[in-house]
Protein backbone atom coordinates (compact mmCIF):
# COMPACT_ATOMS: atom_id res chain seq x y z
CA UNK A 1 0.00 0.00 0.00
CA UNK A 2 1.35 3.46 -0.92
CA UNK A 3 0.59 6.87 0.57
CA UNK A 4 -2.10 7.73 -1.99
CA UNK A 5 -4.03 4.56 -1.20
CA UNK A 6 -3.58 5.15 2.52
CA UNK A 7 -4.93 8.71 2.26
CA UNK A 8 -7.97 7.48 0.28
CA UNK A 9 -8.71 4.85 2.92
CA UNK A 10 -7.95 7.04 5.95
CA UNK A 11 -11.54 8.03 6.74
CA UNK A 12 -12.80 4.47 6.37
CA UNK A 13 -9.97 3.28 8.63
CA UNK A 14 -10.83 5.84 11.33
CA UNK A 15 -14.50 4.77 11.19
CA UNK A 16 -13.58 1.08 11.37
CA UNK A 17 -15.15 0.31 7.99
CA UNK A 18 -12.22 -1.58 6.42
CA UNK A 19 -12.13 -5.34 6.18
CA UNK A 20 -9.52 -7.16 8.25
CA UNK A 21 -7.03 -7.65 5.39
CA UNK A 22 -7.13 -4.01 4.26
CA UNK A 23 -6.95 -2.75 7.85
CA UNK A 24 -3.84 -4.88 8.39
CA UNK A 25 -2.22 -3.43 5.25
CA UNK A 26 -3.13 0.04 6.51
CA UNK A 27 -1.57 -0.57 9.91
CA UNK A 28 1.63 -1.90 8.34
CA UNK A 29 1.86 1.18 6.14
CA UNK A 30 1.23 3.53 9.07
CA UNK A 31 3.95 1.81 11.09
CA UNK A 32 6.53 2.82 8.47
CA UNK A 33 5.18 6.16 7.21
CA UNK A 34 5.49 9.18 9.49
CA UNK A 35 3.47 11.41 7.14
CA UNK A 36 0.47 9.11 7.11
CA UNK A 37 0.74 8.60 10.87
CA UNK A 38 0.58 12.36 11.33
CA UNK A 39 -2.44 12.60 9.00
CA UNK A 40 -4.22 9.86 10.94
CA UNK A 41 -3.50 11.58 14.23
CA UNK A 42 -4.99 14.81 12.87
CA UNK A 43 -8.15 13.00 11.81
CA UNK A 44 -8.52 11.35 15.21
CA UNK A 45 -7.99 14.66 16.98
CA UNK A 46 -10.51 16.40 14.73
CA UNK A 47 -13.03 13.62 15.31
CA UNK A 48 -12.60 13.87 19.08
CA UNK A 49 -12.94 17.69 18.96
CA UNK A 50 -16.14 17.51 16.91
CA UNK A 51 -17.62 14.90 19.23
CA UNK A 52 -16.95 17.14 22.24
CA UNK A 53 -17.70 20.60 20.88
CA UNK A 54 -20.15 20.22 17.96
CA UNK A 55 -23.41 22.09 18.49
CA UNK A 56 -26.54 19.98 18.25
CA UNK A 57 -29.93 21.62 17.69
CA UNK A 58 -33.31 20.42 18.87
CA UNK A 59 -36.48 21.21 16.91
CA UNK A 60 -38.05 24.35 18.50
CA UNK A 61 -41.36 23.91 20.36
CA UNK A 62 -43.11 26.56 18.26
CA UNK A 63 -42.60 24.54 15.06
CA UNK A 64 -46.19 23.21 15.23
CA UNK A 65 -47.67 26.72 15.29
CA UNK A 66 -45.46 27.92 12.43
CA UNK A 67 -46.52 24.98 10.25
CA UNK A 68 -50.19 25.57 11.04
CA UNK A 69 -49.92 29.23 10.17
CA UNK A 70 -48.02 28.55 6.95
CA UNK A 71 -50.48 25.88 5.78
CA UNK A 72 -53.47 28.02 6.68
CA UNK A 73 -52.16 30.82 4.46
CA UNK A 74 -51.71 28.43 1.55
CA UNK A 75 -55.22 26.95 1.74
CA UNK A 76 -57.61 28.39 -0.94
CA UNK A 77 -60.65 30.14 0.39
CA UNK A 78 -63.68 28.06 -0.38
CA UNK A 79 -66.95 27.12 1.15
CA UNK A 80 -66.04 23.73 2.43
CA UNK A 81 -66.31 22.16 5.80
CA UNK A 82 -63.42 23.24 8.00
CA UNK A 83 -62.82 19.66 9.02
CA UNK A 84 -61.10 18.89 5.70
CA UNK A 85 -58.39 21.61 5.77
CA UNK A 86 -57.65 20.99 9.42
CA UNK A 87 -57.40 17.30 8.80
CA UNK A 88 -54.66 17.95 6.27
CA UNK A 89 -53.04 20.46 8.58
CA UNK A 90 -53.01 17.93 11.40
CA UNK A 91 -51.57 15.36 9.04
CA UNK A 92 -48.79 17.77 8.05
CA UNK A 93 -48.10 18.61 11.67
CA UNK A 94 -47.89 14.94 12.54
CA UNK A 95 -45.50 14.31 9.66
CA UNK A 96 -43.31 17.27 10.56
CA UNK A 97 -43.29 16.28 14.22
CA UNK A 98 -42.34 12.74 13.29
CA UNK A 99 -39.53 13.99 11.06
CA UNK A 100 -38.26 16.35 13.75
CA UNK A 101 -38.37 13.56 16.32
CA UNK A 102 -36.51 11.22 13.97
CA UNK A 103 -33.78 13.80 13.35
CA UNK A 104 -33.43 14.53 17.08
CA UNK A 105 -33.32 10.82 17.90
CA UNK A 106 -30.71 10.16 15.22
CA UNK A 107 -28.51 12.95 16.56
CA UNK A 108 -28.90 11.64 20.10
CA UNK A 109 -28.14 8.04 19.17
CA UNK A 110 -25.19 9.10 17.03
CA UNK A 111 -23.59 10.98 19.89
CA UNK A 112 -20.85 8.90 21.56
CA UNK A 113 -21.13 8.15 25.26
CA UNK A 114 -18.77 9.64 27.81
CA UNK A 115 -16.76 6.44 27.95
CA UNK A 116 -16.46 6.28 24.16
CA UNK A 117 -15.32 9.91 23.98
CA UNK A 118 -12.71 9.25 26.65
CA UNK A 119 -11.38 6.23 24.76
CA UNK A 120 -11.21 8.28 21.55
CA UNK A 121 -9.25 10.96 23.41
CA UNK A 122 -6.91 8.34 24.89
CA UNK A 123 -6.09 6.91 21.46
CA UNK A 124 -5.61 10.41 20.00
CA UNK A 125 -3.24 11.32 22.84
CA UNK A 126 -1.31 8.08 22.36
CA UNK A 127 -0.94 8.89 18.65
CA UNK A 128 0.36 12.38 19.42
CA UNK A 129 2.90 11.02 21.89
CA UNK A 130 4.44 8.81 19.21
CA UNK A 131 5.35 11.83 17.09
CA UNK A 132 8.92 13.15 17.39
CA UNK A 133 9.62 14.97 20.70
CA UNK A 134 6.10 14.36 22.06
CA UNK A 135 6.66 11.26 24.16
CA UNK A 136 7.90 12.73 27.45
CA UNK A 137 8.33 16.14 29.10
CA UNK A 138 10.72 14.55 31.57
CA UNK A 139 12.69 11.65 30.06
CA UNK A 140 14.17 9.43 32.77
CA UNK A 141 14.19 5.81 33.86
CA UNK A 142 14.46 6.91 37.51
CA UNK A 143 11.12 7.04 39.30
CA UNK A 144 12.67 9.43 41.87
CA UNK A 145 13.29 11.88 39.03
CA UNK A 146 9.95 11.51 37.27
CA UNK A 147 7.68 11.71 40.33
CA UNK A 148 9.07 15.01 41.75
CA UNK A 149 8.79 16.58 38.28
CA UNK A 150 4.97 16.56 38.60
CA UNK A 151 5.06 18.53 41.88
CA UNK A 152 3.35 21.89 41.42
CA UNK A 153 2.06 20.94 37.96
CA UNK A 154 -0.87 18.77 39.12
CA UNK A 155 -3.31 18.94 42.03
CA UNK A 156 -2.40 15.38 43.01
CA UNK A 157 0.73 13.27 43.40
CA UNK A 158 0.77 10.41 40.87
CA UNK A 159 2.18 7.05 41.97
CA UNK A 160 5.31 6.37 39.91
CA UNK A 161 6.95 2.93 40.00
CA UNK A 162 9.61 1.30 37.86
CA UNK A 163 9.08 -2.16 36.40
CA UNK A 164 12.45 -2.61 34.73
CA UNK A 165 13.02 -5.95 36.44
CA UNK A 166 9.70 -7.15 35.03
CA UNK A 167 10.71 -6.04 31.49
CA UNK A 168 8.49 -2.93 31.56
CA UNK A 169 11.02 -0.15 32.22
CA UNK A 170 9.94 3.42 32.93
CA UNK A 171 10.79 5.85 30.12
CA UNK A 172 9.52 9.18 31.47
CA UNK A 173 6.41 11.26 32.03
CA UNK A 174 4.49 14.24 30.73
CA UNK A 175 1.42 16.36 31.38
CA UNK A 176 -1.71 15.72 29.34
CA UNK A 177 -5.35 16.84 29.29
CA UNK A 178 -8.13 14.24 29.36
CA UNK A 179 -11.58 13.87 30.84
CA UNK A 180 -11.79 17.69 31.18
CA UNK A 181 -8.79 17.90 33.52
CA UNK A 182 -4.99 17.81 33.64
CA UNK A 183 -3.67 14.27 34.09
CA UNK A 184 -0.33 12.53 34.52
CA UNK A 185 0.94 10.42 31.63
CA UNK A 186 3.64 7.89 32.52
CA UNK A 187 5.51 6.23 29.68
CA UNK A 188 6.73 2.63 29.83
CA UNK A 189 8.36 0.41 27.25
CA UNK A 190 8.10 -3.34 26.61
CA UNK A 191 10.65 -4.43 24.02
CA UNK A 192 9.80 -2.14 21.04
CA UNK A 193 6.32 -1.25 22.26
CA UNK A 194 5.35 2.00 24.02
CA UNK A 195 2.77 2.01 26.83
CA UNK A 196 1.09 5.26 27.86
CA UNK A 197 -0.37 5.09 31.37
CA UNK A 198 -2.79 7.93 32.16
CA UNK A 199 -3.92 8.49 35.74
CA UNK A 200 -5.97 11.02 37.66
CA UNK A 201 -8.08 11.11 40.86
CA UNK A 202 -11.66 9.92 40.73
CA UNK A 203 -14.26 12.68 40.79
CA UNK A 204 -16.02 11.30 43.86
CA UNK A 205 -15.30 13.15 47.07
CA UNK A 206 -14.96 9.82 48.84
CA UNK A 207 -12.71 7.00 47.73
CA UNK A 208 -14.73 4.79 45.39
CA UNK A 209 -14.35 1.01 45.40
CA UNK A 210 -11.77 -0.49 43.07
CA UNK A 211 -12.97 -1.67 39.67
CA UNK A 212 -11.56 -4.56 37.67
CA UNK A 213 -9.69 -3.72 34.44
CA UNK A 214 -11.94 -3.31 31.41
CA UNK A 215 -10.34 -3.91 28.03
CA UNK A 216 -11.25 -2.57 24.60
CA UNK A 217 -9.55 -1.88 21.27
CA UNK A 218 -9.60 1.12 18.93
CA UNK A 219 -7.79 1.60 15.62
CA UNK A 220 -5.42 -1.29 16.30
CA UNK A 221 -4.56 -0.21 19.86
CA UNK A 222 -5.43 -1.99 23.08
CA UNK A 223 -6.93 -0.04 25.99
CA UNK A 224 -7.21 -1.12 29.62
CA UNK A 225 -9.08 0.98 32.18
CA UNK A 226 -9.47 0.39 35.92
CA UNK A 227 -9.61 2.23 39.24
CA UNK A 228 -8.04 1.64 42.64
CA UNK A 229 -7.59 3.62 45.86
CA UNK A 230 -9.38 6.69 44.48
CA UNK A 231 -7.40 6.82 41.23
CA UNK A 232 -8.49 6.15 37.64
CA UNK A 233 -5.97 4.38 35.39
CA UNK A 234 -5.98 4.02 31.59
CA UNK A 235 -3.25 2.17 29.69
CA UNK A 236 -2.92 2.40 25.88
CA UNK A 237 -0.48 0.45 23.70
CA UNK A 238 -0.10 -1.65 20.56
CA UNK A 239 0.77 -4.61 22.79
CA UNK A 240 -1.62 -7.54 22.66
CA UNK A 241 -4.31 -7.68 25.29
CA UNK A 242 -2.62 -10.35 27.38
CA UNK A 243 0.66 -8.44 27.69
CA UNK A 244 -1.13 -5.20 28.52
CA UNK A 245 -3.12 -6.99 31.23
CA UNK A 246 0.16 -8.39 32.60
CA UNK A 247 1.57 -4.84 32.73
CA UNK A 248 -1.47 -3.60 34.66
CA UNK A 249 -1.23 -6.48 37.13
CA UNK A 250 2.48 -5.91 37.77
CA UNK A 251 1.97 -2.16 38.07
CA UNK A 252 -0.84 -2.45 40.61
CA UNK A 253 1.09 -5.03 42.64
CA UNK A 254 4.10 -2.70 42.75
CA UNK A 255 1.96 0.28 43.78
CA UNK A 256 0.34 -1.78 46.56
CA UNK A 257 3.76 -3.01 47.71
CA UNK A 258 5.41 0.41 47.76
CA UNK A 259 2.71 3.07 48.14
CA UNK A 260 4.00 6.50 47.09
CA UNK A 261 4.51 9.11 49.79
Same domain, 238 and 129: yes
Sheet with 221-228: list strands edge to edge. 138-139, 170-178, 181-190, 193-201, 231-237, 221-228, 211-218
Write out the E strands in the chain.
138-139, 170-178, 181-190, 193-201, 211-218, 221-228, 231-237
Please list the residues that pair with 185 across neighbouring strands: 174, 198
User: Residue 103: what pLDDT?
Assistant: 55
Last residue within a domain, chosen from 76, 94, 110: 110
Q: Are residues 94 and 216 in the same domain?
A: no
Tell me if residue 181 falls in helix, strand or coil: strand
Is residue 182 in some structural domain? Answer: yes
Domain match, 106 and 154 both: no
**94 and 136 co-located in one domain:** no
Domain membership of residue 158 (yes or no) is yes
Q: What's the CA gap between 1 and 3, in Å, rounded?
A: 7
Give the integer Cα–Cα distance in Å for 22 and 20: 6
Against a cut of 0.95, is the pTM above it? no
User: Distance between CA atoms of 255 and 251, rounded to whole angstroms?
Assistant: 6
Q: Who contacts 12 (Cβ-Cβ below 8 Å, separation ≥6)?
A: 18
Last residue of a domain, one of 110, 144, 171: 110
The separation between the first and the last C-alpha atoms of the chain, rounded to the nearest angstrom, is 51
- Whether residue 90 is found in the same domain as residue 188: no
Question: What SS3 state is found at 223?
Answer: strand
Same domain, 162 and 224: yes
Contacts of 213 (CB under 8 A, 6+ apart): 224, 225, 226, 245, 248
Would you state the pLDDT for residue 34?
80
- DSSP class of residue 217? E
Domain count, the chain: 2
Q: How many CA atoms lie within 13 A of 56 on its CB side?
A: 14
**Residues 92 and 179 grouped into a single domain:** no
Q: Are the beta carbons of 63 and 99 closer than 8 angstroms? A: no
Q: Are residues 159 and 99 in the same domain?
A: no
**Whole-number Cα distances in Å, 173 to 59, 118, 194, 238, 239:** 47, 20, 12, 18, 19
In the chain (261 residues long), the average pLDDT of successive 10-residue segments reads 80 76 77 80 74 64 70 64 59 68 53 71 89 91 95 93 95 90 95 95 66 86 92 94 94 80 50
| pLDDT at residue number 205 | 46
Q: Are residues 140 and 249 in the same domain?
A: yes
Which residues span the domain enclosing 85?
A: 63-110
98 and 154 fall within a common domain: no
- Backbone Cα Rg of the chain: 26
CA-to-CA distance for 150 and 206, rounded, in angstroms? 23
Domain of residue 190, CATH code = 3.40.1000
57 lies in some domain: no
Residue 207 lies in a domain: yes
Write down which residue in 51, 81, 110 finishes a domain: 110
Query: Is residue 91 domain-shared with residue 218, that is, in the same domain?
Result: no
How far apart, in whole angstroms, are the C-alpha atoms of residue 70 and residue 5?
A: 51
Q: Is residue 17 part of a domain?
A: no
pLDDT of residue 254: 92
- 18 contacts 27 by C-beta, under 8 angstroms: no
- Whose CA is closest to 234, among 244, 242, 246, 243? 244
Same domain, 137 and 214: yes
pLDDT attached to residue 87:
62
Q: How far apart are CA 16 and CA 14, in angstroms?
A: 5
Residue 206 lies in a domain: yes
Amino acid sequence: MDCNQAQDLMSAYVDGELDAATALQMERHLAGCAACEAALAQQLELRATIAQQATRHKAPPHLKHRIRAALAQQQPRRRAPRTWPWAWINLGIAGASTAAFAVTLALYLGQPSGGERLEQDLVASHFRSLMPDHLADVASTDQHTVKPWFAGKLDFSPPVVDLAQQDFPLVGGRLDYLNQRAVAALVYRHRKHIINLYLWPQRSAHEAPASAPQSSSHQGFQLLRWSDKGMDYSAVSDLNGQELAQFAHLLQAKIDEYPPQ
